[in-house]
């Protein structure tokens, strides 16, 4: 499977348009034009087909992580969301005990 195939599958799976992909790449300071991008999604036998390099796919994946998760919190900031290092664990009810089922003799 080529980088172009992976890029195409991610594009379809996340329902991304060209403008979305360009914005995602901007999140990691990678600039690309719409025509350069469309060359990756053409058939291999098309005269304007271009192979997607590792650098482009890597930057897209890094940008996609930021797009989906949000930017990393800066040092000293608390992460937002329901999962954090300072969250208190739920209390467990220790009054219930485990009772094994009795085997029936048939």
Identify the DSSP state of 18: H
Residue 41 is given by DSSP the state T
pLDDT at 1 over 80: yes
30-59 burial: b if 16+ Cβ within 10 Å, else e = bebeeeebeebbeeeeeeeeeebeeebbeb
Q: Give the domain ranges of the chain.
A: 3-69
Q: With a cut of 60, say whether residue 57 has pLDDT above it.
A: yes
Query: How does pLDDT run across 34-56, given as a tens digit for each residue?
Result: 999 999 999 999 999 999 999 99
- pTM of this prediction? 0.67
């Amino acid at each position: 499977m080529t980088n172009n195939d992976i890029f195409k599958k991610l594009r379809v799976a996340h329902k991304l348009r060209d403008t979305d992909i360009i914005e995602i790449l901007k999140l990691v300071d990678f600039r690309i034009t719409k025509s350069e991008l469309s060359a990756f999604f053409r058939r291999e036998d098309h005269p304007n087909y271009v192979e997607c390099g590792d650098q482009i796919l890597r930057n897209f994946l890094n940008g996609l992580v930021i797009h989906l998760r949000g930017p990393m919190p800066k040092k000293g900031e608390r992460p937002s969301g329901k999962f954090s290092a300072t969250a208190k664990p739920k209390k467990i009810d220790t009054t219930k005990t485990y009772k094994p089922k009795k085997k029936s003799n048939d």
